[in-house]
Structure 1
Amino acid sequence: MRFLLPLLLVLSCLTVLLPGCEPKEDLLTTDSNATLTFSTDTVMFDTVFTSVGSVTKRLWVRNRNPRAVKVEEISIESQPGVTYSLLIDGDAVTTARDKVIRGKDSLLILVRATIDPTPSDEKPFLVDNNLRFRTNGNDQQVKVISYGQNAYFHSSAVLACDAVWKADKPHVIYNYALVNPNCTLTIEPGTRIYSHAGAFLVVKGRLRISPNYRPSGEIKADDRNIVRFQGDRREKEYAELPGQWGGIEFDASSHDNEIRFTEIKNASFGLLIYNPDNRQPRPKVTVENSIIKNISSYSLDFASGGLPLQGAGLLGLSGDFTVRNTLLTNCWEYAIWGAQGSVYELDYCTIANYLSAPAGSTSALIRQTPSVQLSDGIEINGRPRPLASPRFTMRNSIVWAQPRFAADGTGEDELVFSNGERYASNISISTSVLRTKSYTAGPLSQNKNGNILNPVEGPNYLFKSTPPRPRGKMFSYELDTLSPASNKGMPLPGLTTDLLNRSRDPNAPDIGAYERKNP
């Protein structure tokens, strides 16, 4: 017995020294499945920074594993106009290495953004960055979003029921801004709207843009009263780049929308009516004196229907468009695409679907789709929906573009009616200029009603300046001096001015959105 107590003491000492007795939460794991979780997926600095230099936000990094993990690297990069720093364990750094987080424990990181408050037209409204974590070979990221200029910001926002967007400061959309059913958003003349990548203005109620604006005389292309939608990147290389944001979407409950004196550019879609179930009454959008340009989207899946869509200036899935004095150009897929009961009424419109690459780009642009395409049916998730005949009425308008590439040899057709024989009585086109080979004869022939088909491009050009024949740096879709569209239209009651509010010839107006200005 006298040896028992010393033996127990020795065994106790050995037990303390054994690795297996180290607390499990202190043991490091190298398992690649041992990832981190975060208190948020986005650190957002939503303070207006024209008067505030820096703001600090908290981020908790949690290790939910039973064993400890070593975070090999935590880092963030600064952006032009924004400097980031991280406060970790009392140290202000931009990169930290080999930080150990015990099992079932967490690490607090303070993220600080210092914004240059100096105004700059080149500075983006939103600075999008990533806080990066590397653990056991895994790379994880937390988004860091900072606002860079003084503006109204709408981030995943459900708007007030009778919201009015004023023109005193720009408006910036992040993710989406939503107009609820039975609610109205009114946008005042001169308002600027900048949308972040993938962002949409979603209208389930009603949208009214410049509803009461009446210009007193001719307006210029850069008129300050025009409402302008574009992406939030302000750098020169983004000025005319398509597909930077989603577009304006009207859902099945939307009604009586009006868009006047507006420019929509650089989006995946210009105006999209999304009513794939053909609910009645259909959503309606009226567009007047507007420009839709630089539109492209390879595809977009809607969570509500799983429907992949190609980009279009005007896209109607069972929706009605009335469009007057409007230009659609540089749409890389479609200028107009309508399906399943869509109604289009176009007066004095110019669809000049030439493709112009962004400044500095050397890549060749190839469009395989017609500028205008209508169909009486559509498939959703591989299943055809019930047929519903579209209606297409066009007067005093132009559908033109440089010849496109098409594997089936139809590259000179910019107007296509899929299954058009089934709804031929719903198609009415008069006194318009068309590029088409398919509809020169037969039941869908447009070689009537004063239409001008396939005018020869030579000394008599349709427009003043188009690719590949630019005069200077800008393209112009006003009519050339000897354009075959000059003075070939028919007077339309109530439409006495053009896109720029110039008076039209009361007896022989020009075809298209622009009335040629006399020298």
Structure 2
Amino acid sequence: MRHYFALFIFGLLLAFSSCRTDFDTVASSGDLKFSKDTVYLDTVFKNIGSSTYQLKVYNKTKDDISIPTIQLKKGLSSKYRMTIDGMNGNNGKIFNNVTLLAKDSLYIFIETTADITDADPTDFLYTDEIQFDSGTNLQEVALVTLIQDAVFLYPKQNPDGTKEKIQIDGKPVDGFYLDENDAVNGNELNFNKQKPYVIYGYAGVPENKTITFEAGARVHFHANSGLFVANKASLQINGTTSTTAKLENEVIFEGDRLEPEYSDIPGQWKSVILANGSTNHSINHLTLKNGFIGLDIRNQDATTIQIKNTQIYNCAEYGILAQNARINAENLVINYAGLASLSCVYGGNYTFTHSTFYNNWQSSSHLAVNLSNSLAGATPETNPLTQATFNNCIIYGSNTNEFNLSKNANAAFVFQLNNCLLKFSSSSTNPDYQFKTDIEHYNQIILNENPKFYNVNQNKFNIDNTSAAFAKGNPAYTIPLDIIGTTRTSPPDLGAYQSVVFPK
């Protein structure tokens, strides 16, 4: 009896399975649907891998289908590579008999690594197609990538396989010193606008040398990279006013990921370090963004750094961290920093005129401006702040207080704010923050009124005539042209921008 029952069960299972069509497929008939008909892989530098891009393929029929081939038109020679639902196929180029169930979809992930010589010489585009099936059932999705040529600067490899190092803060880091007579690149201390530059590791400026960035230069720093200006060395950034939205005459420092999703991510590279004893620095029309610390200025010699018409955005810690530095800045804008947009510590001497310091980092501890005459672990721990003057400036942000004084009685602490718009809790009883009655340190302060910037999330700090900063400046401190070259009126507006009429 048990034998007959087992045969009965087997027969039922056989009959049931013969009725199933889940695992039966029919040939693709060219009716696939796609999430896009062209996949644009954003600009990449030659021989640098792109981000991964996604294409979704849909089977909207009621049948499970088998796609005989999914391949790159250029075959195994293509500079693109794919994975399809986790499968690598033949070197990521050719896939055979890919099953796609009814009313289902599959994901194709696409990357590329191409040289400038692979691109069309007229437009520098590298293209290919993903082909689905063939003959009358052929369907194609185009792939397009802009390849950008560049000058690559990086540490050499030592005979033992290690990378070249330089010393920063007494520690070896991956880096190299720029050479004004390099056999391949020529004068590496002069950056021009002919090609963008991509830096790996720290590029060092040797003692007694000057690095110059011409108007229009573009510098891209790889992760954990930066610029190190050594003792007795100098930095000269010679950008000029641009006339178009392309900022054709601006000098730009940023990361080396060119895809739009990386355009505003902090901490993609390290810092520009102006080391102890560095000298005679001048910065004009620089846009620096997405670093860890934008400008890291340390105990430079008795000369004063001139910073003009400069923008620093999206730094993981500080826009400018100055330690016992000497800075004269005008038309300076800093926004979005993890700790402080501007932090002047361990004393120094500073003058900021017609500058905008803003911070809307998403934390409750960030600051727009921090001043201190001490430094933990330093010897001595304090150093005199001989001057910190802010004229016709805006110090604002998303926190209740965006201005901080950290005073140590063992060293001088001299500061003054003249005709500034300031964000600070008006209920403070601390004697250091008596903005209306302390005329030694505060003169004509506008407290907690909205500057009405055009769009702080897009780093657009223009104002119009409804701003609390409109026409509130002291003409005695006027810089004749604003950060983009617009003539200031009298009385001038506060901050780096002269007011305009916003578009409706």
TM-score by length of 1: 0.60
Please state how far the C-alpha of 1:177 moved relative to its aligned partner.
0.9
Change in 2 beyond 3 A, CA 1:232/1:418: same
Please state how far the C-alpha of 1:437 moved relative to its aligned partner.
3.2
What is the RMSD computed on CA atoms of the aligned residues?
3.3
Query: 1:356-404: per-residue Cα shift (whole Å, max 9, x none)?
Result: xxxxxxxxx3241322112111123xx663311223111000000012x
**2:396 aligned residue:** 400
TM-score by length of 2: 0.62
**For the residues of structure 2 that align with 1:435 and 1:221, how far apart are their CA atoms?**
31
**2:434 aligned residue:** 445
| 2:435 corresponds to 1:416 | no
Change in 2 beyond 3 A, CA 1:187/1:332: same
Q: Confirm or deny: 8 A CA contact 1:348 1:397 kept in the other structure.
A: yes
**For the residues of structure 1 that align with 2:274 and 2:325, how far apart are their CA atoms?**
9
**1:463 aligned residue:** 453
Please state how far the C-alpha of 1:291 moved relative to its aligned partner.
0.6
**For the residues of structure 1 that align with 2:292 and 2:414, how far apart are their CA atoms?**
29
The one of 316, 319, 322 equivalent to 1:313 is 319
**For the residues of structure 2 that align with 1:121 and 1:466, how far apart are their CA atoms?**
34
| 2:236 corresponds to 1:208 | yes
**1:487 aligned residue:** 471
User: What secondary structure, in the 3-state scheme, does the structure 1 residue paired with 2:200 have?
Assistant: strand
**For the residues of structure 1 that align with 2:326 and 2:247, how far apart are their CA atoms?**
29
**For the residues of structure 1 that align with 2:320 and 2:389, how far apart are their CA atoms?**
15
Change in 2 beyond 3 A, CA 1:378/1:450: closer
| 2:367 corresponds to 1:370 | yes
Q: Confirm or deny: 8 A CA contact 2:352 2:389 kept in the other structure.
A: yes
Please state how far the C-alpha of 1:339 moved relative to its aligned partner.
1.5
Q: Confirm or deny: 8 A CA contact 1:314 1:337 kept in the other structure.
A: yes
**1:184 aligned residue:** 210
Q: Confirm or deny: 8 A CA contact 1:375 1:389 kept in the other structure.
A: no
Please state how far the C-alpha of 1:452 moved relative to its aligned partner.
2.8
Q: Confirm or deny: 8 A CA contact 2:322 2:343 kept in the other structure.
A: yes
The one of 208, 216, 225 equivalent to 1:199 is 225
| 2:447 corresponds to 1:454 | yes
The one of 313, 324, 328 equivalent to 1:293 is 313
Q: Confirm or deny: 8 A CA contact 2:265 2:290 kept in the other structure.
A: yes
Q: Confirm or deny: 8 A CA contact 2:81 2:91 kept in the other structure.
A: no
Q: Confirm or deny: 8 A CA contact 2:371 2:406 kept in the other structure.
A: yes
Which has the higher mean CA deviation after the structures are superposed, 262-271 or 475-484?
475-484
Change in 2 beyond 3 A, CA 1:189/1:318: same
User: What secondary structure, in the 3-state scheme, does the structure 2 residue paired with 1:464 have?
Assistant: coil
Map 1:128-139 to 2 at 5 A: none
Aligned length: 345
Structure 2: which amino acid aligns with 1:431?
N
Q: Confirm or deny: 8 A CA contact 2:373 2:413 kept in the other structure.
A: no
**For the residues of structure 2 that align with 1:420 and 1:512, how far apart are their CA atoms?**
29
The one of 414, 436, 442 equivalent to 2:424 is 436
Q: Confirm or deny: 8 A CA contact 2:359 2:367 kept in the other structure.
A: no
**1:350 aligned residue:** 356
| 2:180 corresponds to 1:158 | no
Change in 2 beyond 3 A, CA 1:443/1:231: closer
Please state how far the C-alpha of 1:350 moved relative to its aligned partner.
0.5
Please state how far the C-alpha of 1:498 moved relative to its aligned partner.
0.2
Query: 1:166-208: per-residue Cα shift (whole Å, max 9, x none)?
Result: 1010001100111111101111101110000010111111111
Q: Confirm or deny: 8 A CA contact 2:449 2:468 kept in the other structure.
A: no
**1:336 aligned residue:** 342
Q: Confirm or deny: 8 A CA contact 2:278 2:301 kept in the other structure.
A: no
Q: Confirm or deny: 8 A CA contact 2:392 2:495 kept in the other structure.
A: yes
**2:20 aligned residue:** none
**For the residues of structure 2 that align with 1:320 and 1:515, how far apart are their CA atoms?**
26
The one of 195, 201, 206 equivalent to 1:175 is 201
**For the residues of structure 2 that align with 1:170 and 1:267, how far apart are their CA atoms?**
18
**For the residues of structure 1 that align with 2:497 and 2:220, how far apart are their CA atoms?**
27
Map 1:194-273 to 2 at 5 A: 194-204=220-230, 205-210=233-238, 213=240, 215=241, 219-273=243-297
Q: Confirm or deny: 8 A CA contact 1:250 1:283 kept in the other structure.
A: no
Query: 1:60-110: per-residue Cα shift (whole Å, max 9, x none)?
Result: xxxxxxxxxxxxxxxxxx9x95779xxxxxxx989xxxxxxxxxxxxxxxx
Please state how far the C-alpha of 1:255 moved relative to its aligned partner.
0.8
**For the residues of structure 1 that align with 2:204 and 2:384, how far apart are their CA atoms?**
30
**For the residues of structure 2 that align with 1:489 and 1:442, how far apart are their CA atoms?**
25
Change in 2 beyond 3 A, CA 1:272/1:82: farther
Unaligned runs of 5+ in 2: 1-44, 49-75, 83-89, 93-112, 127-146, 156-175, 181-186
Sequence identity percentage = 24
**1:118 aligned residue:** 119
Query: 1:202-248: per-residue Cα shift (whole Å, max 9, x none)?
Result: 1111111117x4x4xx7455321111110001111101101000121
The one of 475, 478, 498 equivalent to 2:462 is 478
